[in-house]
Amino acid sequence: MPRFNRPIASIVLLALAAVLIGCPSQPVARKQDAMAQASSRAVSRGGGRIQGVNLNDPIRPAADDEAIVISAAKNEWASFSLQVSELPTELPPKQKTIAYYFRVQAPQLQSDNGSIAVENLSAAQILPMPVDVNRAGFVRHTGLAATSRPLPRALLPMPMDNGVVNLAAARDPADPTNPSSRGVGSSEPLLFWIDLHVPPETPPGEYAMTCELFRSDQPTPIASAPVKITIHDFVLPDERHLVMTSRLAWDDLKRLYPEQFETIRPHLLNRNKPAYAAPINTLDSLVKLAQRHRTEVVVPRLQPTAKWPAASPPETDWSDIDTVISPWLSGEAFADRIPLNHWPLPPVDFLDRYDRQSQLQYWTQAAAHFDQKDWLARAPVSLELAIPGRAGTAQALQMSADAAQILAAHPNVRVTVPLEDDQVHLASKDNANFINPKTTHRLLAASPGIVYGAPLQTWPGPVPPPKHWLRTDVPGLVPYVGAGGDERDVRVWSWLAFLRDAALIQWNSPLPRTTVPTEQADPNDLVWFYPGSWFGVAEPLATIQLKWLRRAQQDYEYLWLARQRGQVLNAMLMARLIAKPVRIQPGQTPDPTYALLTGTSDPAAWADAQRLLARIILLREAGAEKDDAAKANELGLQLLHWAEPQEQALLMPRTADWGVALGGNGNLLNLRLGVDVYNASDAKADQNQMHWGDSQAATAPAGWQVKPQPTNVPPLQPYHVDRFTMNAEFDLNKIDAKDRRTSEIAFVDGFAKRQSKIEFVLPVRPSDRQRPGLRIDGKLNDWDAADAIQSDAPMVRLLDRAALQKQQLAFAQQPSTVYTGWADDHFYIAFKLGGVQTGALTQTRNFVDYQFRRAWGEDLCEMLIQPIFADNSRGPVLHVVCKPAGHWIERKRDPRVSRESWQPFEGAAIRYTAAMTPAGDWSGEVAIPWKAITDKDRGLPKMLRFNFTQHTHATGESASWAGPIDFGRDDSFMGLLYIRETTDPGMAGP
């Protein structure tokens, strides 16, 4: 174990478990011996079933009969989910009065007589809401197929009487917003969310409880599901050391609560005036619901009444706003009396239109008022960019100057800026207008995102560094999707916050961006609440996503406790291995594909990390100075075992540079394969090697010639992505169009001796002169198997985060067939693709819609073509898009002379014909003039760099001939077509 010379406890990697610690969406059974497993399974005696349900898959909840296993600290919220199913959809007339209900027993301590009172349990029905997951970002991030099925989102509170929930109050999941719909009798299973708040005084140990399903005409349960709970011997603090806040936009309130807010002027709201009772109740319910889930919301438009006399400071009246926010900032509004920790000083409307002196006068008065109320430590002035995004140089200069003036206006005021540390400008002898170094402790700067750049300048040592907050509107140099689609992608932000030493995460609006409940939402919207009016109830409904946020906040408290007990190295290492950040070096181009490397997509890794983190906290009793040595050694071995797969290097083949080899009589090709290697470890990887797969010589496709000797790879810095080149040759005399075997690259970490492997498909195929009589009619009658470069086989699915992190090569669901051929004037492509939507087209468009660089929104295929001549010179890259009802053609421009990478090409017309079958098979033929491909009168090229990609609209799946790639217009990684004459060597047959 030379890999971990550091303190053994410093290996706590990141892998939080949705299964553990009350992760609401992960009731996961632990596999034990057969006897224990049999005793822990759910029991059904007919007429109904109750089971634990796993919500790890955001599209398809999975129920099983294993015991539900969760764990929690004292004063923590733990959760699990239940599914009730197989209830009779129709009852005989005499049984119409039969009722169904389930009972959740009080958890009982197994080693003693202790228990957790049933009053600490609560239940809500999980209702589906329409979410449009037919989005490139969702498919790319999760690896799941697009679907129109509603996703489990809303939580309708269920009355619980001494642990009993009457199913008569449950709604039909097929009609969730109808208060009159009934779940009993529905053909859909009923899902329920169970919350358990563990009282701080609860004795630690192993607890057990049973969830039982009853029908009113039988005294014994008809089904049951066991639950096992581990209560850890430490207390989660009431104080929120990570503030997770969201801003309630006034326009959202007017849109979703028009009766309460449409005619209200924000500065006149007053808690003591009956006319404002309705909007105050709405705001109270939203603020309280968030606070109950250890999160916070802010209403930026709540403001004082300000008047601006001529040539005088503003006159500000705080009497109205004080009545509204005082109960929230004092904690009196909340059951646990924990006040809100973040409420930015409210600007008045149109403050930015006043001169700078008037603005500073207002901020001075606002700071003085909040300081008098003892709120100022929680109320910074929040400076924002006019357009959300990363600040440019000029914006950073101006914002630094503005922040400096505000910091000087009051001795205790704080300022939040959307600038990272290296963008903050400090005052100097040359320019005294920037931030005074003595005030930086009152500055809150933005933390780097999950994909971030190395700072251009280091923070000056003698100057106190600013506090930090984490932005979710600009999560890094490249987009990170999935913020609201999956529990782990919410929780990763709290681990990243700990890693960045950020005490605040600011989310976007907590209300839905949709206006009616039937409108499909974006899967990446993080919705905290739904309006109660959507469901016919008075109070707003919490969402599963709000439960995920609560879980994330509690994750941070675990990390904070580990740090408090001397385990800061462990906690930091775990945070790095769960978040897996990517650091971009100066001059290195930010690549959106790097976002697929970040985070930890394996649910088991999260589960084990949560368990290990709890054990790390328990190594040292509160107030003790040393850890238990024996426990530390045992835990260290477990951490090593957990760390091993998390630190595995990840490989991505990214570029394929083809050329004619010198001295090979024109039949030998060179390949320079560029492979990106991500060092997911916190330590530098040294003495590394990379080689073609161990069995490459035996299993490589025909024609490949690779050297078995490994290539030395320079040291890899932690969390960096570096590109290295592997060389190979291809003998055109040995080309075999039927050989579809994959290739493999292996990387060996020279320090840890870990090996990583990745498979890929990089085909080389002949393209022969077309026989006479070709008709471009879309019927494919003029083609045979000898012309096929892809013969009735699935292509390679485009990259997705889950498959990439598993280093797995995934293939499309449908087989594809692609043919090529050529003549003196044209290059021909024909194809047969499956899975295409049938029926009359209701709309079409003469352009391509792209999401995350991927063609999206309709069935289509893409062809990338670039000629290579015998002297290894190259022509332009041509991009051809074919749809069932049309086509699109464009060329790639030189980035040195044009900002736009691609422009429509009209220099030569192509011919395209398509045919469809009722079964969804789409065939097409394309004739492309050589002058559109070569752009010069140079004759035929020696070969073509080529790729073919299909996007299937029904499933959201995209797949390519050469791959895996991240998007269809990726001209860096392409296979090869050899333009072969019948007299060329290697030609089989006449």
pLDDT of 33 reads 39
Q: What is the pLDDT of residue 95?
A: 55
Is residue 279 within 8 Å of residue 554, measured between CB atoms?
Answer: no
Answer left, alpha or beta for residue 687, where phi above 0 means left and psi between -120 and 50 means alpha: left
SS3 500: coil
Peptide bond into 2 cis (omega under 30): no
DSSP symbol at 47? S
Q: pLDDT of 551-581, one tens digit each?
A: 999 999 999 999 999 999 989 999 999 999 9
- Cα distance between residue 365 and residue 346, in whole Å: 11
Tokens of 318: 């705080």
The C-alpha atoms of residue 101 and residue 79 are separated, in whole angstroms, by 20
Give, in order, the Cα–Cα distances in Å from 795 to each of 154, 196, 654, 791, 811. 38, 47, 17, 10, 6
pLDDT in tens, 894-926: 777 777 889 988 878 899 999 999 988 999 999
Residue corresponding to tokens 């030998």? 668
Question: Are 396 and 423 within 8 A, CB to CB?
Answer: yes
pLDDT at 217 > cutoff 60: yes
Report residue 104: phi and psi, to 5°.
Answer: -105, 115
What is the helix (H) or strand (E) element at residue 445, kind and residue range? strand 443-446
Q: How many CA atoms lie within 13 A of 894 on its CB side?
A: 4
> What was the pLDDT predicted at 17?
30
Which tens digits make up the pLDDT trace of 242-293? 999 999 999 999 999 999 999 999 999 999 999 999 999 999 999 999 999 9
d(CA 630, CA 405): 56
Residue 457: per-residue pLDDT: 86
Question: Pick the residue with more confidence: 56 or 335?
Answer: 335
Lookup: tokens for 378: 């929680």
User: Which pLDDT value is given to residue 789?
Assistant: 96
DSSP-based helix, strand, coil % in the chain, nearest 5: 25, 30, 45
Closest CA relative to residue 951, chosen from 824, 846, 820, 816: 816
Residue of 772, 777, 750, 611 lying closest to 688 (CA atoms): 750
Residue 42: band (very low, low, confident or very high) from pLDDT cuts 50, 70, 90 = confident
Other Cβ atoms closer than 10 A to 864? 26
Question: Is the per-residue pLDDT at 476 higher than 70?
Answer: no
Q: Can you give the pLDDT at residue 94?
A: 57
**pLDDT (tens digit per residue) in 921-966:** 999 999 999 999 997 778 899 999 999 999 999 999 999 999 999 9
Q: Residue 629: its pLDDT value, please?
A: 81
Question: Please, which residues have CB within 8 angstroms of residue 432's CB and are 6 or more apart in sequence?
Answer: none
What residues pair up with 923 in beta bridges, in sequence order? 832, 915
Which residue matches tokens 């011919």? 911
pLDDT tens, residue by residue, 599-648: 998 999 999 999 999 999 998 876 666 767 888 888 888 998 999 999 99
Counting Cβ atoms within 10 Å, is residue 358 exposed (0-12), middle (13-18) or buried (19+)? middle
Find, among 502, 485, 676, 681, the residue nearest to 581 by Cα: 681
Which of the residue ranges 423-427, 486-490, 517-521 would you say has the lowest mean pLDDT?
486-490
DSSP 895: T
pLDDT of residue 642: 93
Tokens describing residue 832? 């047969």
| 776-819 pLDDT per residue, tens | 999 999 999 999 999 999 999 999 999 999 999 999 999 999 99
CA distance 738 to 785: 9
Identify the DSSP state of 763. -
Q: Phi and psi (nearest 5°) for 49?
A: -145, 140
Give the start-end residues of each E strand in 86-222. Answer: 100-104, 108-109, 121-129, 151-158, 164-166, 190-197, 205-215
Residue 124 phi/psi, 5-degree rounding, is -145, 145
429-451 average pLDDT score: 94
As beta bridge partners, residue 790 has: 818
Please report where in the chains the tokens 């053609």 appear, as a residue: 889
What is each CA distance from 31 to 28, 37, 639, in whole angstroms? Answer: 9, 7, 20
Tens-digit pLDDT profile for residues 4-40: 333 333 333 223 233 233 343 333 333 333 334 444 6
Please tell me the predicted confidence (pLDDT) of residue 145.
Answer: 85
In 185-307, where does DSSP find H-type helix? 250-256, 258-261, 277-292
140-165 per-position pLDDT tens digit:
988 888 877 789 999 999 999 999 99
What integer pLDDT is reported at residue 906 of this predicted model? 84
Q: Give the dihedral sign, CA 698/701/703/708.
A: negative
At position 351, the amino acid (one-letter code) is L
Q: Which two tokens stand for residue 509?
A: 């609006």
In this structure, the chain runs to a length of 990
Three-state secondary-structure class, residue 248: coil
Strands of 585-629, DSSP E? none
Alpha carbon dihedral 269, 270, 275, 281, in 10-degree steps, equals 90
Q: How far apart are CA 679 and CA 582, in angstroms?
A: 9
Contacts of 576 (CB under 8 A, 6+ apart): 13, 14, 499, 682, 718, 719
| Residue 45, number of CB atoms within 10 A of its CB | 13
The pLDDT assigned to 10 comes to 36
Alpha carbon distance 667, 825 (integer Å): 24
Torsion angle defined by CA atoms of residues 518, 524, 530 and 531, in that order, rounded to the nearest 10 degrees: -70
Rounded to the nearest 5°, which phi and psi values hold at 362?
-65, -45
Q: What is the mean pLDDT of residues 859-883?
A: 95
- 64-106: per-residue pLDDT in tens? 999 999 999 999 999 999 999 998 766 555 556 789 999 999 9
The pLDDT of residue 12: 32
Per-residue confidence band for 725, with pLDDT thresholds at 50, 70 and 90: very high
Residues 6+ apart with CB under 8 A from 244: 294, 295, 296, 494, 505, 507, 549, 552, 553
In this prediction, residue 588 has a pLDDT band, given cuts at 50, 70 and 90, of confident
